[in-house]
């Protein structure tokens, strides 16, 4: 029977720490501010943006939302980002992805000032993560590491397998585990012997975006299993990338879906925004 690592519990602690530091900054006349841009009316994006606004209110940040119509041009979007880059009271800028097809996501990410890039997607921040000298971490991998630390799991010397190679989760996740002296393998759709590789992992991170993809025969006895996925099963019920019911009895630690990695992503965004406010005011 695995120990459940509760993202609700850990994210509440992270938010409480951020709230306390925010109060200290406000006493110095600094109010951390986050600007969120949403283009179009994607329902999932709207839910995420609303959750980010609620989190800002919870920790005491100023939040500004820029809801742009789907037909917004590249020039209009880049002009808004330029304005926000120059706005002193905004410390973090987040452009909700995905963007409508006619917009160039890469150009949008590159336009955000690296000092305000609280998603840590800008190439200069990605490079800093690679060399281990970073201010910001991508929110989901950072949240996974926070859960690992909270559970008291030592990564050093462990065999770590990350399923998924996205720029948002898979690749930075691998780097963070490597920085803590894990021996890391990244698996993806072209990996041969996927089952055998996963079954040898002490720490298994599933970030593949396929419901219940990780089955019990892919998990080593006593492995730590971290499920980044958020999907719906055949009955429309929320589930992760891991077949929780079969894997949970075999693992030593496991994150549930919902209530595992999910709440951590926004908590780490708050932590990044706080860091951005401190950096831009010479306090870090």
**Residues tagged active-site:** 52, 96, 119
Tell me how far apart the alpha carbons of residues 245 and 64 are, in angstroms, rounded to a whole number. 41
Kindly report each contact of residues 191-198 with a partner whose C-beta sits within 8 Å and lies 24 or more positions away, as own/partner: 194/163, 194/218, 197/161, 198/161, 198/163
Tell me how far apart the alpha carbons of residues 116 and 80 are, in angstroms, rounded to a whole number. 14
Give me 29's structure tokens.
Answer: 């006349």
Tell me how far apart the alpha carbons of residues 100 and 230 are, in angstroms, rounded to a whole number. 22
Q: What are phi and psi of 39, to 5 degrees?
A: -115, 125
Give me 28's structure tokens.
Answer: 């110095």
Closest-CA residue to 213 (of 200, 197, 231):
231
Whose tokens are 């917004």? That residue is 72
Diameter of the chain by CA atoms? 56
């Amino acid at each position: 029977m695995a120990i459940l690592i509760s993202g609700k519990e850990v994210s509440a602690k992270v938010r409480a720490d951020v709230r306390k530091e925010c109060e200290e900054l406000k006493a110095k006349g600094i109010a951390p501010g986050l600007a969120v841009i949403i283009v179009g009316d994607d329902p999932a994006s709207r839910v995420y943006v609303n959750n980010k606004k609620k989190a800002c209110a919870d920790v005491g940040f100023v939040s500004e939302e820029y809801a742009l119509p789907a037909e917004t041009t590249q020039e209009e979007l880049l002009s808004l980002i330029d304005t926000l880059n120059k706005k002193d009271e905004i410390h973090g800028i987040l452009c909700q992805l995905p963007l409508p097809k006619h917009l160039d996501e890469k150009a949008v990410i590159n336009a955000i000032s690296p000092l305000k890039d609280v998603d840590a997607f800008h190439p200069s921040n990605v490079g800093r993560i690679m060399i281990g000298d970073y201010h910001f971490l991508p929110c989901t991998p950072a949240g996974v590491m926070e859960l690992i630390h909270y559970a008291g799991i030592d990564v050093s010397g462990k065999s770590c397998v990350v399923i998924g190679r996205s720029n948002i989760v898979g690749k930075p996740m691998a780097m963070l585990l490597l920085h803590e002296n894990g021996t890391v393998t990244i698996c993806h759709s072209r990996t041969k012997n996927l089952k055998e590789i996963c079954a040898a992992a002490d720490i298994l991170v599933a970030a593949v975006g396929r419901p219940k993809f990780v089955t019990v025969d892919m998990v080593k006895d006593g492995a730590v299993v971290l499920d980044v996925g958020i999907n719906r099963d055949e009955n429309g019920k929320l589930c992760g990338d891991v077949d929780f019911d079969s894997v949970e009895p075999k693992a030593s630690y496991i994150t549930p879906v919902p209530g595992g990695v999910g709440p951590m992503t926004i908590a780490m965004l708050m932590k990044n925004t706080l860091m951005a406010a401190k950096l831009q005011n010479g306090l870090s």
